[in-house]
Chain A
Amino acid sequence: MPRALSITTHNASLGEAPLTPEWHSRTVASETAAHKMSFTAVPTASNSYQLNDSNEVQPLHSLPPPFTTTSSPGQTSSTKLIRQGAEALLYYTHFLSPSLPCALKYRPPKSYRHPILDKRLTRARILAEARVLVRCKREGVSVPAVLGAGWEEGWIAIEWVNGSTVRDAIFGRKTWRQENQASYEGGEKDLVGLMHKIGCAVGKLHQVGVIHGDLTTSNLMLRPTVSGAEGGEEPSATSAATPFDGTITLIDFGLAAQSSQEEDRAVDLYVLERAFGSTHPEVEHLFPEVLKAYGESYKGAKVVLRKLEDVRMRGRKKSMIG
């Protein structure tokens, strides 16, 4: 099993580096070895990529092999830049076969960062992300599956998730309500339901020993529930449709870590709370619903909620001290 071996080698070298104080680096987890990186890189020349269709992002970076914009002759390219995230470029493409759509997350070198620091961070983050996703998947948390990764080149290929982000869904709620007036039953019931789902999803994540590290409403997806699909969760045919139908799927584990410490969990919740406050001030008053659902989602959750109060005090009250 040479591929698995090569992973272990990388893990070992990562383990040697005194990276422990860094949040993104993680202990060598044995489960990554079990996860086969089923991918052999074919060294093809990477074509420099330019977004053709007008607007927004025009990355100067070319994708690492084997991801290129040009596929075999006659075929049109299916690689599309979706978003320039904080530090990674997110592409929609396919992996191994054209029938397997995937999200390709590429972390190009950052020119502002010292090259040594840059390499160290990129490698640690790709590996940490892969490990965490594999662990979540195995434990039944709703996350996309890892399809492959290249930690030296800075890419990770992840299963494509359909649906919209919670951020967009909240922003689109007003429009949705106008369009679907008939089926909508008053108040903020839909939002409360959404908050509840978010609380449960985060609780489940924490329960399996994973900290997301960057919980914002852009990193929570509403994945449409396929009715009748195997393992599909609550087909919810009975309840009225809301703009927030679907299963909460967590994405972007770029800052994730494996930890079961109350402190880390509480900070994770605090980051989410602040994201609500800054992005959706109009629904911030419903955030306690997230915490309520979270508190009931697993055994140690209550303690974490108490810890959250400490974190809040610390986060809110310091300025000019020390």
Chain B
Amino acid sequence: MPIAIGLEGSANKLGVGVIHHAAYPHSSHRSRQDSPLSSSPPPPLKASDGDASLTWPPVRILANLRHTYVSPPGSGFLPKDTAAHHRRWVVRLVKQAMKQADVRIEDIDCVCFTKGPGMGAPLGAVAIAARMLSLLWNKPLVGVNHCVGHIEMGRSITGAENPVVLYVSGGNTQIIAYSAQRYRIFGEALDIAVGNCLDRFARVLNISNDPAPGYNIEQMAKKGNILVELPYAVKGMDVSFSGILARIEELAHRLESSAQGQSEPWKDEDTGEVITREDLCFTLQETVFAMLVEITERAMAHVGAKQVLIVGGVGCNMRLQEMMGMMAAERGGSVYATDERFCIDNGIMIAHAGLLAWGMGFKTGLDESGCTQRFRTDEVWINWRD
């Protein structure tokens, strides 16, 4: 009955989670003839309860805490400030998580931490905390790939058995499918990540970073309805966002200057309506999400998959989930997504993926517990899957 604590801090969120796996693999339980998923209709879009997992092994979430470093509007989070935030909060969060989980130190089997990818300074700050816990408690360390954490948690929560995974966040945009013990990357952003594109657009319009710039864009987009023309950059299963960002930034500046009365109000050519900040949010979302859905559809067609799992911070955007749902429905497939507790970076996913690896005998020695900014999803040997 292993229990793990997971520490995540690859970007501006510090997460600590405690997870419990009901039984341990190796055993023969792995074939689930009585799985309710094999024949019944797909489960609802959202997992309503995080405490029950639908795939092997059954997991119980004992604690899942997060503290986010929010930078002022118009700015992004800088590595050094973010690392300082993580250092300031990590002990408090670990204490609180242990208390909430109601487990003793001796119940913990391993200390999992994010090895990468991510921003160097915040990663390092959290890795130090993990090493400290490991030495203090005399527990093995398990270094986890952040992306694999997202995927495994998403699968566990939603019960998607073998989905095409769209992993979209501030730092990563990848379309992934499992094959022969690896999560293989079929397509990805060739330059900046989609979340980064959204975040940086938010900065130009001084949209608040609290709770997240993407969330605020989503709310504003609901009030927009004019689609301004933007570049559309899909290449095979890859996408590019830098050109779109450059263009939308240009449009945002134009809008700001017309709002300040420095130029004529900017009107839509067809309808004559004045274009607003909300319209730009709407336009950006519609365009970049259409690209994401398109590459996902291409990957589904390519590997012949029917399930899509959306993970990563951008994955909790309801409009993206809705668009993905329409696409999947037309292909006779289904979409699996989680809410912000599991979509946005969290400690529990690190604990979960770490515990899966630990169960297969994996440990990270203290001398190799360094972290790395670059750590490809397909570098990890996924030996806990068939």
Residues of B within 8 A of A322 (CB): 192, 196
B297 touches A60 (CB 8 A): no
CB neighbours of B191 from chain A (8 A) = 318
B251 within 8 A of A: no
Interface size class of A (residues with CB under 8 A): 35 or more
0/1 interface trace, chain B 216-242, chain A, CB 8 Å (1 if under): 000000000001010111111110000
Would you call B179 and A21 a contact (CB within 8 A)?
no
Does B229 contact A255, Cβ atoms closer than 8 Å?
Answer: no
Inter-chain contact A114/B10, CB cutoff 8 Å = no
| Cβ 8 A contact of A214, one of B236, B300, B332 | B236
- Distance between Cα atoms of A210 and B331 in the complex (Å): 31
A242-299, CB < 8 A from B: 255, 267, 271, 274-275, 277-279, 281
Residue in A closest to B225 when the chains form the complex, CB atoms: A114
> How large, as a class, is the contact surface on chain B?
35 or more
From the candidates B243, B301, B332, B373, name the one contacting A319 in the complex (CB within 8 A). B373
Q: Is B11 an interface residue (CB 8 A)?
A: yes
- Bound CA span A322–B287, Å: 21
B207 in the interface (beta carbon within 8 A):
no
In the complex, the answer to whether B177 meets A278 with C-beta atoms within 8 Å is yes
Say yes or no: B227 contacts A121, CB within 8 Å: no
Contact B332 A57 (CB under 8 A): yes
A17 neighbours in B (Cβ, 8 Å)? 229
Say yes or no: B234 contacts A255, CB within 8 Å: yes
Give chain A residues whose Cβ lies under 8 Å from the Cβ of B300: 86
Q: Is A18's CB within 8 Å of the partner chain B? A: yes
Contacts of B290 in A (CB 8 A): 110, 112-114, 117
CB-based contact A21/B247 at 8 Å: yes
Selected interface stretch from A30-38, A41-49, A184-192, A309-317: A309-317
Whole-angstrom CA separation of A274 from B190 in the bound complex: 13
Q: Let me know if B327 is at the binding interface, CB within 8 A.
A: yes
Beta-carbon contact of A22 and B184 below 8 Å: no
A22 adjacent to B232 (CB under 8 Å)? yes
Known: A87-B294, A279-B302. A60 touches B227 (CB 8 A): no
CB neighbours (8 Å) of B232 from chain A are: 22-24, 117, 121
Which chain A residues lie closer than 8 Å to B234 at the CB level?
23-24, 255
Whether B326 pairs with A320 at a CB distance below 8 angstroms is no
Report whether B236 and A213 are in contact in the complex, using a CB–CB cutoff of 8 Å.
yes
Determine if A271 and B287 form an interchain contact, defined as CB atoms under 8 angstroms apart: no
A58 within 8 A of B: yes
Residues from chain B with a CB closer than 8 A to the CB of A275 are 236
Which residues of B have CB within 8 Å of A58? 332
B330 touches A86 (CB 8 A): no
Nearest CB of chain B from residue A266's CB, rounded to whole Å:
12
Q: Is the CB of A117 within 8 A of B227?
A: yes
Question: B236–A314 contact, CB under 8 A?
Answer: no
A59-102 residues at the B interface, CB under 8 angstroms: 60, 84-87
CA distance A57 to B375 in the complex (A): 38
Name B185-219 residues within 8 Å CB distance of A: 185-186, 188, 190-193, 196
**In the complex, residue of chain A having the shortest beta-carbon distance to the beta carbon of B177:** A278
Q: Identify A215's interface contact among B188, B236, B374, CB under 8 A.
A: B236
Minimum C-beta distance from A263 to chain B (A):
11
- Give me 11 other A-B pairs in contact (C-beta within 8 A), A17-B229, A216-B236 excluded: A18-B229, A60-B330, A111-B330, A112-B293, A113-B286, A278-B179, A319-B172, A319-B373, A320-B11, A320-B117, A320-B193
The 6 A-B residue pairs whose C-beta atoms are closest, nearest first, are: A21-B231, A320-B171, A86-B298, A319-B117, A112-B323, A112-B326
- 28 A-B contacts (beta carbon < 8 Å): A22-B232, A23-B232, A23-B234, A57-B331, A57-B332, A84-B331, A87-B294, A112-B323, A112-B324, A113-B293, A114-B290, A120-B229, A121-B232, A267-B235, A271-B235, A271-B237, A271-B238, A274-B185, A275-B236, A278-B184, A281-B179, A315-B188, A319-B171, A319-B373, A319-B376, A320-B10, A320-B117, A320-B172
